[in-house]
Structure 1
Amino acid sequence: MTHTRLQQFFTPRGIEAESFRIIDSEVPDPRPYQGPQWEIVRRMIHTTADFEMLDLVRFHPGAVESGRDALKRGCDIVTDTEMARRGIPVRRMDPLGCTVHCLMNDERVVARAGEQGTTRAFAAVDVAVDELRPEIFVIGNAPTALLRLLERFEAGDIAPALVVGMPVGFVNAAESKDLLIQSELPYIAIQGRKGGSALAACVVNAIAEMALSSE
């Protein structure tokens, strides 16, 4: 490939467009996901270069529409890591009137976690539910956050429009996602141990692009 041809991929948009073209070519129709679901899974593959996403991603039937509608309303979003918060850029959120919060270093969360002997991720869900009442939860790291959110939902304390449930790891990560998939929450999840903040954030970005294009 010549230097001149390579130059067309020096811009972020050029790189992204070529990446999506390659993914589409390597996953020809009929694909296991269609329409908006494919747009999300394709972005997840783009984020990770991991085609195993084709076998692992799970969608609640109403999750994409519910999440898109929440974004178009200008909702609050809570993430379980600063990495996920920073991975959802204001250039997408500001036009929609959405705000992304991470409460992991909030004084109230630190105090609750110390008093209750829980993880900060667990305590952050309680603060979010009790004080922010966000419509979208983005969980890419902490199974304890997802487990606590499921408890608060089952208690009738909150009914979010979307839960992006993708905690990564070996202790309760797969189990917490299995419980999410069995719940009545609108979810987008990854089965098994894989996940992470970047993956969880890219799901919101994909849905935000849908919301912005329908404005």
Structure 2
Amino acid sequence: MDIIWDPQIIETQSMAIIEPYLQGYSFNAPEKAVVKRVVHTTGDPSIIEHIFFHPAACKIGIEALRKATAVFTDVNMLLTGINPTKLAAYGATVSCGIAEPEVVKAASKWQITRAAAAMRLWGSRLNDAIVAIGNAPTALFELLALIDKGVARPALIIGTPVGFVGAAESKEMMIKENLVPYMTIRGTRGGSTIAAAMVNALLYYEGDTEDE
């Protein structure tokens, strides 16, 4: 067995291997880039059929990042998975409040999760931002409530909370309510690595979004 050591060659070959699995799907170019990045991250081509996009999600997300939007995440694992070099190149920022003292205090006072408390405290700061939720369904439920109340209106939600309690339900609510553009993984699967892969795919995309 010949071991490939060059990371760029590994990624290039991986993407070439993934390409045939996308046959039969009607993803546009930026959606395809996101899907390939998710498959590459998970090593699981069967996840393709569960990836779901709002029609404007990729265009809005790419353009927002290019305009140096803020990115907010529910957990630090997701924050650390976003490419800092590409983010900085656009002048964009990324924040996670889950460990902030005021968030911890508010979560205890309100008897909600810290991820949800962070969303509530951020409030209008989420306007025109990208909100990436990779772990906590409660954060997504809270975000949808804030949008419904007119408190916040992000440019894009990347919602891939994972698990068996509330994860699938929060994502289906996001799709049904259709309040702002979103991308997600339907069902119980998800996680911070997938959400980070989606953000990174938007950061890496170099094509024109106007005609996609």
Query: 1:11 — aligned with what?
Result: 6
Unaligned runs of 5+ in 1: none
Which of 54, 58, 70 is the matching residue for 1:60? 54
Percent identity, please. 38
CA distance in 2, matches of 1:103, 1:93: 18
Instruction: Judge conservation of contact 1:77–1:134 (CA < 8 Å) in 2.
Output: no
Runs of 4+ residues over 4 Å off in structure 1: 130-134
Structure 1 window deviating more from structure 2 (143-152 vs 75-84): it is 75-84
SS of structure 1 residue aligned to 2:107 = helix
Pair 1:202-2:159 in alignment? no
Equivalent residue letter for 1:80: D
Instruction: Judge conservation of contact 2:72–2:131 (CA < 8 Å) in 1.
Output: yes
Shift of 1:119: 0.7
Q: How many residues are matched?
A: 207
Unaligned runs of 5+ in 2: none
Query: 1:97 — aligned with what?
Result: 91
SS of structure 2 residue aligned to 1:205 = helix
Query: 1:171 — aligned with what?
Result: 165
Instruction: Judge conservation of contact 2:69–2:92 (CA < 8 Å) in 1.
Output: yes
* Alignment map for 1:56-95 (pairs within 5 Å): 56-95=50-89
CA distance in 2, matches of 1:34, 1:66: 14
Query: 1:192 — aligned with what?
Result: 187
Query: 1:51 — aligned with what?
Result: 45
Change (3 A) 1:33 1:95: same
Equivalent residue letter for 1:186: P
Instruction: Judge conservation of contact 1:128–1:134 (CA < 8 Å) in 2.
Output: no
SS of structure 1 residue aligned to 2:157 = strand
Could you give the per-residue CA deviations for residues 148-176 of structure 1, whole angstroms, max 9, x where no partner exists? Answer: 00000001111111100000000000000
SS of structure 2 residue aligned to 1:189 = strand
Shift of 1:133: 4.3
Normalised TM-score (structure 2): 0.92
CA distance in 2, matches of 1:28, 1:125: 35
Instruction: Judge conservation of contact 1:73–1:96 (CA < 8 Å) in 2.
Output: yes
Change (3 A) 1:33 1:76: same
Equivalent residue letter for 1:141: N
CA distance in 1, matches of 2:105, 2:74: 17
CA distance in 1, matches of 2:148, 2:90: 30
SS of structure 1 residue aligned to 2:45 = coil
CA distance in 2, matches of 1:59, 1:213: 18
Pair 1:20-2:38 in alignment? no
Change (3 A) 1:132 1:38: closer
Equivalent residue letter for 1:54: I
Shift of 1:184: 2.3
Structure 1 window deviating more from structure 2 (168-177 vs 182-191): it is 182-191
CA distance in 2, matches of 1:11, 1:107: 42
Instruction: Judge conservation of contact 2:126–2:153 (CA < 8 Å) in 1.
Output: no
Instruction: Judge conservation of contact 1:78–1:128 (CA < 8 Å) in 2.
Output: no
CA RMSD of aligned residues (A): 1.5
Pair 1:36-2:30 in alignment? yes
Query: 2:146 — aligned with what?
Result: 152
